[in-house]
Amino acid sequence: VRKQSQITTFFSPG
């Protein structure tokens, strides 16, 4: 089973 990851997991604020 695959889970949807989020953009914020890869890119951080800044």
Partner 1 sequence: MLELRLVQGSLLKKVLEAIKELVTDANFDCSATGFSLQAMDSSHVALVALLLRSEGFEHYRCDRNLSMGMNLGNVSKMLRCAGSDDIITIKADDGSDTVTFMFESPNQDKIADFEMKLMDIDSEHLGIPDAEYQAIVRMPSGEFARICKDLSSIGDTVIISVTKEGVKFSTAGDIGTANIVCRQNKTVDKPEEATVIEMQEPVSLTFALRYLNSFTKATPLSETVSISLSSDLPVVVEYKIADMGYVRYYLAPKIEE
Q: Rule CB under 8 A: which residues touch partner 1?
A: 1-14
CA distance 14 to 3: 26
Q: How far is the CB of 9 from partner 1 (least distance, A)?
A: 7
Residue type, 10: F
Q: How far is the CB of 5 from partner 1 (least distance, A)?
A: 4
Q: How far is the CB of 14 from partner 1 (least distance, A)?
A: 4
